Chains A and B, each alone.
Chain A
């Protein structure tokens, strides 16, 4: 795992090595083991390396046999050994043992279609010197990040936006569309980012850049099948066997590494399953890592301990406090490069530090199972709301809402009449394609109350969800509602928040590479063809996964009620460690200077927290969103030069 950056002067002007060095230096945390640059013919590539495969000869940027094609690559190609065999058979010669070189030769062989053959997680740029063309690509699900911009005749790209900003020709301004989208969907919708004129290459897309301009195209998208809802029990066993075989192979190829691989173990079904699969395919002693909390509301250590005992792993736990969350939060936002509405990334930042300090560079983790195999409460909630919608006068159907969110006391304690009202079922017909997500998006959008009048006047209020609607596949209306909600979750929240703000950015902050067996595209494509009833049987989430996990994980974990990963929220900012920045960032003067939020409204919200008033979801998200936005402005707009190495500034 690594950091990549580069630039391309479309007019052929030479690229100064100092520019490339300045960019890649900003990504040192992604690749502390080695750096390299290449520039020629108006193009330049840079690389910061985290050595995992072929430690001795995997230096990048790397070229093909005749030096006509160069690559800078962040990620892993897990099927590189199989691809290499085929390429050798076709006459290619290899100078290294790396997966990087496999991409180069595959590109020679297949051109831009090479990405169709890759099983992995990647962001790379290939410079084709003869054609004077840059080819960039990002993996199917968006595990690895890639950003770009064009200013005048110069195209720049990087694993993180900070690398692009290291080039002084790039201006740094907040993009209000990105902000508006984040305060609706929890993430900007690619190619929009939080910075004006800086774009994100969407997952499953490739792009070419040459004198003719920039062309972006999708090479893969999620496609769900219209499946029979009733499954013969005999077929259930077959589906379960197929899923287990796929997961075992997905895990096996994700253990390909020249350094030891550890595993995250949250105490939930997914990470316990991936850990069990690692144990199933290797005999080596496995190191596992987890987070625990003092507050019982968030803590899962009982289940973590059960999993450790059952799977016999060598385990390390990070006991995370609210004060630690407050302490690292500014650094967390330096890495996320966008606001967050939850503090949940902060403990993961601390966890990756623990893993790194324990001598590990690679972990296997369980992300992706909830999206593809039907684990999230939002799917369950939508199912109950649909069930209720079919008989709106029913007194019994809404009672099912009690079964939702047993871990949220607010929901459990509220009067029935209110519970019904909050889980409204009367969705505007125009919004039916988003039925599952409308309550979440509408609740989040309420946070825009805190925006200043100037910002509110500039963000578009018309044609709700227009951009998401335009991005839906043609076949979307023919899918069942369960698949539709899976698509929305997998297409937007997964790459835009789970795999980035909680995933890549928190792990790579401490040079840790995460690998995700559930996001192997073969698993994803298999899951997308499954009948919805095998994902959530009545209200039993991840039904098929539980079935194939039998015997591999402790029954108590297979049968427990799903508890999503959560951390102590905005109350963390009342801790001593937050004093160092809260008063400055949220002072009425600073809020007015930065211009995004309404100063009196922010003061009222902060006072409400300090008074210890009852704090709900909206208030929590509001305060975390405001602090993180102010930190973003602090780091990237007001004081970016402070973060650059002295000789770059």
Chain B
């Protein structure tokens, strides 16, 4: 499972209850498509911090980082330790659960 797959699965299950709209793409804006609300942002942040053991600072909390699957993947990649970036394999990496 790639990082994109994992993030997409989290977003689909947590905010769309397994029912993504037709054509849901990794570049789609969560805000524009009404996928997340104010609480969902907090839930998303908690997931990133817990699963990838990264800390999000106030300046990180911007739509560029958090508003699409691709944006999330880019942001997480940029924060993971160097040995975990690149060909991410969720099953290989022991991070948070």
Contact = CB atoms under 8 A, between A and B. Distances in A.
Interface of A: 410-411, 413-415, 417-419, 421-422, 442-443, 446, 449-450, 598, 600-602, 604-605, 608, 613-619
Nearest to B61: A415
B84 interface: no
A418 B31 contact: yes
The secondary-structure label for the interface of chain A is: helix
A17 to B, nearest CB: 51
15 contacts: A410-B42, A415-B62, A417-B63, A419-B38, A421-B31, A450-B17, A600-B17, A604-B17, A614-B39, A614-B43, A614-B46, A616-B39, A616-B43, A617-B39, A618-B37
A604 B13 contact: yes
Interface in B36-73: 37-43, 46, 58, 61-63
B37 A617 contact: yes
Contacts, number: 67
A601 B19 CA distance: 7
A417 B37 contact: no
B61 A418 contact: yes
B23 interface: no
Contacts of A616: 37-40, 43
B2 interface: no
A600 B58 CA distance: 35
A419 B34 CA distance: 13
Contacts of B58: 415
Nearest to B34: A446
Q: Top 6 A-B pairs ranked by shortest CB distance? A: A616-B39, A415-B61, A601-B17, A614-B43, A421-B31, A604-B17
B18 interface: yes
A414 to B, nearest CB: 5
A422 to B, nearest CB: 6
B17 A418 contact: no
B37 A605 contact: no
Given A421-B31, A613-B43, A411 B38 contact: yes
A600 B39 contact: no
Interface of B: 13-14, 16-19, 31, 34, 37-43, 46, 58, 61-63
A471 to B, nearest CB: 26
A172 to B, nearest CB: 29
Contacts of A598: 17, 19
Given A421-B63, A600-B17, 8 more contacts: A415-B58, A417-B63, A442-B34, A449-B17, A604-B17, A613-B43, A614-B39, A616-B43
A421 B19 CA distance: 23
A629 to B, nearest CB: 16
Nearest to A449: B19
Contact of B17 (A605, A613, A614): A605
B72 to A, nearest CB: 14
Contacts of A601: 17-19
A588 to B, nearest CB: 13
A602 B38 CA distance: 21
Contacts of B42: 410, 413-414, 614
A613 B14 contact: yes
A409 B40 CA distance: 13
A410 B16 CA distance: 19
Nearest to A617: B37
A230 to B, nearest CB: 36
Contacts of A618: 37, 39-40
B39 to A, nearest CB: 3
Contacts of B63: 417-418, 421
B45 to A, nearest CB: 9
- Name which of B19, B38, B41 has the most chain A CB atoms within 10 A of its CB: B38
Of A415, A601, A608, most B-chain CB atoms within 10 Å: A415
B44 to A, nearest CB: 9
A413 to B, nearest CB: 7
Contacts of B38: 410-411, 414, 418-419, 422, 616-617
A218 B41 CA distance: 46
Contacts of B43: 613-614, 616
A377 B46 CA distance: 29
A45 to B, nearest CB: 48
B34 A415 contact: no
Nearest to B31: A421
Given A615-B39, A616-B37, A618-B37, A417 B17 contact: no
Contacts of A443: 34, 37
Given A450-B17, A601-B19, A417 B39 contact: no
Contact of A619 (B13, B31, B39): B39
A618 B39 CA distance: 9
B50 to A, nearest CB: 11
Contacts of A449: 16-17, 19
B17 to A, nearest CB: 4
A608 B14 contact: yes
A613 B41 CA distance: 12
Residue from B14, B39, B62, B63 having most chain A Cβ neighbours under 10 A: B39
Contacts of B18: 600-601, 604
Contacts of A442: 34
A36 B17 CA distance: 52
Contacts of B61: 415, 417-418
A615 B39 CA distance: 6
A615 B43 CA distance: 8
Contacts of A613: 14, 43
B62 A417 contact: yes
B17 A422 contact: no
Contacts of B37: 422, 443, 616-618
A586 to B, nearest CB: 13
Contact of A414 (B13, B14, B16, B41): B41
Contacts of A450: 17
B85 to A, nearest CB: 25
A411 B62 CA distance: 16
Which interface residue of A413, A417, A605 has the most chain B CB atoms within 10 A? Answer: A417
B28 to A, nearest CB: 14
Nearest to A446: B34
A194 to B, nearest CB: 23
Contact of A418 (B16, B34, B41, B46): B41
A118 to B, nearest CB: 44
Given A422-B31, A604-B13, A415 B41 contact: yes
